[in-house]
Chains A and B, each alone.
Chain A
C-alpha cells in the first residue's frame, strides 16, 4: 500500500534515483545498427577528407562521397570561356586580310558618297556656277585639298554673273574638272550666302564662305558682299 504521510525532500530524491533504474535500455538491435552506421559515416568522412559527404544524420544513413567534385564545375566553366575567346581570336587572325578589305571597302564607299552629292535642279536658283580649284580656274593657290566651297548666286546678289561659284575640291585634285559652267547644277537653295545649309543637303561645300574662291577671279561684288554688311556699323 501507498503510505499516506507527507513526503520530504530526501524521499523524493531517493525515488528519483530509483526511477533511474526503471528506464528501459537501448534495444540491442537498434544500438548495433546505429553503431555500424556511425562508424561507416566516420570512414566516409575520413575518405572524403573534409567531411563534405558525411553530414547526413538521424537515421544513420551514411554520407555520399561528394568531396572533390565541388571544384570541378568552376574550373570547367573557366576553361570553356577561355577556349571560346581563343577561338574568336584565332578566327580574327586567320581572316584579318578579309576583314581589312571589308573595312577599307566601306571607307571607299563612304568617300565616294561624299564626293558625289546628289544635286537636284530647282527653278528657284537658275544659275549655279561651279568652279573647280586648280591651276586652270584659280590663279591664287587656294588650299587644293579638303576644301569644298560653293557660292550660289541668287536674287539677293542682283543676278549678276558670278564668276566664282561652286568650287569643289576633292581629295584628289587631278579628278577635278575645272570648267565654268552655267548649267543648272547648283544647290538652288535660293539662300543668301550667309544662310547655313541644312545638314546633308546638297554639296557639302561651305556656302557660307564665298570669299575665298571668289578672290582669285575677282568678282568684286561676290567677295565684298559680306564686308558691305559690316560697313554700316
Chain B
C-alpha cells in the first residue's frame, strides 16, 4: 500500500488505482465495524456504500481528509449508522450474538470460549449505552488509540477514558453475575 498522504493526494484527483486501493483496504473493516455496532448485514452493506460515496463526493470537491483516512471513514460510518438508526426509530441492536449463531453450531457442542463470547455479546447489547459500546468496539476490536477514538466519536480523550472504564466495569460486573461470581 502506498504512503497514506500520497494515496490521499491521488484519491483527491480521483485516481482509479488510489480509490480502488482505499476501498479494498477499508470496506471490509467498515462492514465488520458496523456489524459490531449492531447493524444488520444488509444495513452494514448499504452504509458501507454510503461511506465511500460520501468520501468520493468530498474528493471531487477537493475536500475530504488530508490525513488519517481510517479515522475519517470510521467516523463517517458511525454518523451514518446513528442517523440511520434514528431515522428508523429503533435502538441499535448488537446482533453479534446472532452472527455467532450463524455457524449453526449446537449450543451443547460450543466450546467454553464460544459460550463466553456469546454471553459477552449479549451483555454488550443489554448493558452498555450506545457510546460505551462504540468506545469499547473502537478501542478493543478496531484498536484505535484514545485520541483517534475521541476524534471519531467527537469527544475529548478524558471522556473516552471515562466511557471506556464505565463500559468495561459494567461488562465485568454483568459477566461475573452471569458466571455466578460476586
Residues in A lying within 8 Å of B, measured CB to CB: 1-9, 11-13, 15-20, 22-27, 30-31, 34-35, 37-39, 41-43, 45-46, 50-51, 54-60
In the complex, chain A residues whose CB is within 8 Å of the CB of B145: none
Give complex CA distance A57, B77 in Å. Answer: 13
A12, A51, A57: the one within 8 Å of B50 (CB): A57
- Residues from chain B with Cβ under 8 Å of A38 in the complex: 19, 23, 49, 52-53, 56
Q: Does B159 lie at the interface of the complex (its beta carbon under 8 Å from any beta carbon of A)?
A: no
Contact A9 B172, beta carbon cutoff 8 Å = yes
Interface string of B126-166 (1 = CB under 8 A from A): 00000000001000110000000000000000000000000
B120 interface hit (Cβ, 8 Å): yes
Could you tell me which residues of chain B, from 20 to 68, have a CB within 8 Å of some CB in chain A?
Answer: 20, 23-24, 27-28, 31-32, 35-36, 41, 45-46, 48-50, 52-54, 56-57, 60-61
A19 to B175, CA, bound (A): 14
Inter-chain contact A34/B45, CB cutoff 8 Å: yes
A34-B48, A35-B27, A51-B57 known; A22-B179 Cβ under 8 A: no
Would you give 25 A-B contacts (Cβ < 8 Å), ordered by A?
A2-B179, A4-B179, A5-B181, A6-B182, A9-B168, A9-B169, A9-B172, A12-B171, A15-B116, A16-B120, A17-B141, A20-B36, A22-B99, A23-B96, A24-B41, A24-B99, A26-B27, A35-B20, A46-B60, A54-B56, A55-B53, A56-B53, A58-B46, A59-B49, A60-B49
Q: Which of A5, A16, A18, A43 is in CB contact (< 8 Å) with B136?
A: A16
A-B contact count (CB 8 A): 142
The reply to whether B50 and A26 form a contact with Cβ atoms under 8 Å apart is: no
CB neighbours (8 Å) of B119 from chain A are 2
Chain B's interface size range is 35 or more
Whether the pair B171, A35 counts as a contact (CB closer than 8 A) is no
A42 touches B96 (CB 8 A): no
B residues apposed to A, CB below 8 Å: 14, 16, 19-20, 23-24, 27-28, 31-32, 35-36, 41, 45-46, 48-50, 52-54, 56-57, 60-61, 96, 99-100, 102, 112-113, 115-117, 119-121, 136, 140-141, 168-169, 171-172, 175-176, 179-182
| Residue with the greatest number of chain B CB neighbours at <10 A, chosen from A6, A11, A43, A50 | A6
Sample of 10 further A-B pairs with CB below 8 A, known A22-B99, A31-B31, A59-B49: A2-B112, A15-B175, A22-B117, A25-B32, A26-B45, A45-B14, A46-B14, A51-B57, A51-B61, A58-B50
Q: Complex Cα distance A43/B59, Å? A: 12
List chain A residues, Cβ under 8 A from B16: 39, 42-43
Question: Does A50 lie within 8 Å of B60, measured CB to CB?
Answer: yes
Cβ contact within 8 Å between B112 and A19: no
The distance in angstroms between the C-alpha atoms of A164 and B161, with both chains bound, is 116
The interface residues of chain A lying within 8 Å CB-to-CB of B120 are 12, 15-16, 19
Q: How far is the CB of B160 from chain A (nearest CB, A)?
A: 15
Whether B141 lies near A25 (C-beta < 8 A) is no
